[in-house]
Amino acid sequence: MKKIIRYLPSLLILICCGSAAAGSGNALQIQKTTSGSVESSSNIIFDSILYLSGNISYNGATGVVTFLQAGRYLVFYNVAYQGTSVSPNQAVTALVTSQGDYIKAASPSPNGQVSGVGIIDISAAPTTMSLINAGTGKLICSQCTLVVWGQP
């Protein structure tokens, strides 16, 4: 299955699981079209669902993705930011699931990017996942991308 992803000047997430040829594909693409700050320990909220198919759902009020199918998911994200509200000005983000996964990434730069990558094995559905600000102060997001690929 071939996917083409355009990196937009906004916050974007794409989740895909299964084979489109077999008709069992799960996919979600959502994006954040407004910039702003994210409080410490808070979810990054996406405001637009661009594509939704299969056994995945997204709650735009909470920023929570729900996997309704078990499987192995590869997650990559990149967050471009304009700063934080604490010193040192370090951005810290994490992928957090309801089954206890906590995959953290940090950047020592006061303005720049933080990237993270991890493999999440969803052992039982439903399982939820969020991308959070794991730092101690507000994170001022400008552009972000999150991509998840999975195999049931």
What sign has the CA pseudo-torsion 104, 4, 121, 68?
Answer: positive
Domains, the chain, ordered by start: 11-151 (2.60.120.40)
pLDDT at 146: 66
State the Rg of the chain over Cα.
15
Q: What is the distance, to the nearest Å, from the Cα of residue 93 to the centroid of all Cα atoms in its chain?
A: 10
Closest CA to 51 of 97, 95, 3: 3
Residue 5 has pLDDT above 70, yes or no: no
> How far apart are alpha carbons 15 and 148 in whole angstroms?
4
pLDDT at 25: 64
Residue 147 has pLDDT above 70, yes or no: no
Write down the pTM of the prediction.
0.80
Residue 103 has pLDDT above 70, yes or no: yes
